[in-house]
């Protein structure tokens, strides 16, 4: 019996992956490069022949909408457990993740999850087990252990996450701002480039004419309404005489 840590990590695992080299993990991922006794945690190694192919487990605790609620190791020929997703390719080289075994993860929305995986460790000897951990399977005489914990609906963001969110909001504001309205800070007030600019109606619109003036445009005279009525007035005298 051995114990890795008596304290539960601050955040649950949000993603699990397989990589071909411990140095090729994506940003934000922790690599399980060694077993609990300090030996190599290569999941591909063969006990009889030395292979140049290596596979290592990695995971991320980056806060998001989803969390990993369960992990299973199954035979490659077994039916995929319901609700689980197999890790078929390495994250870095897009090669086959494993050969005879298959690592499967179950991901659920954080709001709907009651428990989640908080840590993953690999033990090289079957007679040892980790306190507060659960063994989820075996591969190449190595055993994968997971630590489960309750999911809290709301957890405070880390300082790095708060800074990242603040930078994203600031970048979004800059990209959506108009170039003619660059904002400048003056004390506690915020001004734009259009502040203090008087808006008045042009003087040419102050006098409203009651009648349209005649305008000659390319030989075409635009007449007023009174002129049109006077020129084209028709009293229908002939039509009335016929009816009467």
For 54-111, the pLDDT digits (tens) are: 999 999 999 889 999 999 999 999 999 999 999 999 999 999 999 889 999 999 999 9
d(CA 155, CA 153): 7
CATH class of 15-150: mainly beta
Q: Is 147 a residue whose pLDDT tops 90?
A: yes
Q: For all residues of the chain together, what is the average pLDDT? A: 79
Token pair, residue 3, equals: 């114990």
pLDDT for 173 equals 44
pLDDT band at 188 (very low <50, low <70, confident <90, very high): very low
Half-sphere exposure of 7 (CA within 13 A, CB side): 3
pLDDT for 232 equals 78
- 47 vs 108, which has greater pLDDT? 108
How does pLDDT run across 148-186, given as a tens digit for each residue?
Answer: 999 987 555 555 555 554 554 454 444 334 434 344 444
Q: Are 142 and 41 in contact (CB under 8 A)?
A: yes
Specify the pairing of strand 115-123 against strand 142-150: antiparallel
pLDDT for 108 equals 97
Beta bridge partners of 74: 102
pLDDT band at 199 (very low <50, low <70, confident <90, very high): low
Under the phi-then-psi rule, with left for phi > 0, alpha for psi from -120 to 50, and beta for the rest, what region is 130? beta
d(CA 21, CA 17): 12
pLDDT for 233 equals 76
Answering whether pTM is above 0.85, one says no
By three-state DSSP, how is residue 60 classified?
strand
pLDDT for 34 equals 95
Q: In what order do the strands lie in the sheet with 85-86?
A: 66-75, 101-109, 85-86
Q: Are 149 and 115 in contact (CB under 8 A)?
A: yes
pLDDT for 126 equals 72
pLDDT for 180 equals 43
Q: Is 238 a residue whose pLDDT tops 90?
A: no
By three-state DSSP, how is residue 119 classified?
strand
Residue percentage of the chain with pLDDT more than 90:
48
Q: Rounded to 10 degrees, what is the CA torsion of 57, 61, 63, 66?
A: 50
d(CA 42, CA 18): 10
pLDDT band at 141 (very low <50, low <70, confident <90, very high): confident
pLDDT for 29 equals 97
Q: What's the whole-number mean pLDDT along residues 7-30? A: 94
């Amino acid at each position: 019996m051995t114990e890795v840590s008596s304290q539960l990590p601050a955040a649950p695992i949000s993603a699990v992956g397989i990589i071909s080299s411990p140095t090729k993990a994506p940003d934000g991922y922790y690599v399980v490069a060694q077993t609990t006794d300090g030996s190599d945690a290569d999941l591909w190694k063969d006990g009889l022949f030395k292979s140049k192919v290596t596979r290592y487990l990695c995971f991320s605790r980056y806060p998001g909408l989803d969390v990993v609620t369960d992990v299973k190791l199954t035979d490659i020929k077994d039916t995929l457990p319901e609700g689980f997703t197999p890790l078929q390719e390495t994250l870095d080289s897009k090669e086959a993740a494993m050969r005879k075994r298959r690592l499967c993860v179950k991901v659920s929305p954080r709001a709907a999850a009651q428990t989640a995986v908080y840590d993953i460790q690999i033990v090289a000897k079957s007679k040892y087990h980790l306190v507060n951990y659960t063994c989820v399977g075996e591969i190449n005489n190595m055993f994968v252990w997971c630590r489960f914990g309750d999911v809290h609906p709301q957890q405070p963001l880390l300082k790095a996450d708060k800074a990242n969110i603040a930078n994203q909001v600031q970048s979004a504001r800059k990209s959506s701002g108009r170039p003619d309205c660059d904002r400048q800070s003056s004390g506690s007030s915020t001004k734009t480039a259009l502040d203090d600019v008087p808006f008045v109606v042009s003087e040419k619109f102050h006098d409203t004419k009651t009648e349209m003036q005649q305008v000659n445009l390319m030989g075409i005279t635009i007449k007023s309404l009174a002129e049109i009525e006077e020129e084209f007035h028709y009293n229908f005298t002939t039509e009335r005489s016929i009816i009467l």
